[in-house]
């Protein structure tokens, strides 16, 4: 980022009149149409000069890759692996966390059940099951409570999985919705199958931390 002071100095070094149309003195005998033509040429020259300065500044600015996430993601602490997870055993053994952990295992079993049903019947009604068995509000509460057993470093890994699970459930609910009397297309079937597999894997990955 040391280039920024240099850019600022360059901007300051460009005189203000470089961005202003030059003053032209016209003889009295020149017609109004000629004056308007000259004005237009002056504006074009001024605009071109301004664009050139912007081009120079842009060439001096540092370039960043267009990608999702943090700009300095390479500087973020490494995500803790499940085998290295730091768990507060007292919180983990509490009845509240144990109940929520059991609920999460039930959620995973429900997803596995949905996958089996869809494999046996491509037209099975999954929308009502998803809304009932994978209620986003209840699921979020369970995920947040069990996540409290981990240290902040470990939560860098589990938080990512929690976000994936919640997003997958929302997308699955939207994908399984269909109008009454319509058949589920092969394209939609492949999409739902893929989302269920991804969600099942996310639950399994989260449970490896416990």
Residue by residue, DSSP assigns 1-41 as: -THHHHHHHHHHHS-GGGGSPPP-PPPTTS-HHHHHHHHHH
**pLDDT of 178 above 80:** yes
pLDDT at 54 over 80: no
Q: What is the mean pLDDT of residues 73-82?
A: 60
Tokens representing residue 19 in the block: 């961005």
Q: What percent of the chain has pLDDT over 70?
A: 62
Question: CB neighbours (10 Å) of residue 192?
Answer: 21
Q: Which residues contact 153 (CB under 8 A, 6 or more apart)?
A: 77, 80, 86
Q: What tokens were used for 164?
A: 């994936």
The Cα–Cα gap between 101 and 106 comes to: 9
CB neighbour class for 78 (10 Å; exposed up to 12, middle 13-18, buried from 19): exposed
- For residue 14, the model assigns a pLDDT of 46
pLDDT digits (tens, 9 = 90+) for 81-101: 899 999 999 999 999 999 999
Whether 196 and 118 have beta carbons less than 8 Å apart is answered as yes
Distance CA 209, CA 60 (A): 46
Looking at residue 71, the DSSP 8-state letter turns out to be T
Q: Alpha-carbon distance 174 to 136, whole Å?
A: 13
Is the CB of residue 142 less than 8 Å from the CB of residue 104? Answer: yes
pTM of the full structure: 0.63
């Amino acid at each position: 980022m040391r280039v920024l002071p240099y850019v600022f100095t360059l901007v300051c070094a460009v005189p203000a009149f470089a961005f202003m149309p030059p003053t032209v003195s016209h003889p009295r005998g020149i017609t109004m149409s000629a004056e308007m033509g000259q004005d237009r040429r002056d504006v074009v020259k001024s605009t071109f000069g301004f664009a050139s300065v912007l081009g120079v500044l842009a060439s001096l600015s540092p370039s960043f890759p267009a990608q999702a996430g943090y700009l300095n993601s390479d500087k973020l602490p490494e995500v803790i692996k499940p085998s290295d997870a730091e768990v507060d055993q007292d919180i983990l053994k509490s009845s509240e966390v144990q109940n929520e952990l059991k609920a999460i295992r039930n959620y995973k079993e429900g997803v596995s059940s949905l996958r089996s049903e869809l494999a046996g019947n491509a037209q099975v009604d999954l929308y009502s099951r998803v809304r009932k068995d994978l209620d986003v509000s209840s699921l979020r509460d369970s995920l947040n409570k069990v996540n409290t057993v981990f240290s902040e470093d470990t939560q860098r890994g589990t938080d990512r999985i929690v976000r994936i699970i919640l997003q997958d459930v929302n997308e699955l609910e939207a994908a399984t919705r269909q109008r009454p009397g319509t058949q589920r297309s092969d394209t939609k079937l492949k999409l739902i199958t893929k989302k269920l597999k991804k969600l099942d894997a996310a639950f399994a990955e989260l449970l490896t931390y416990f």
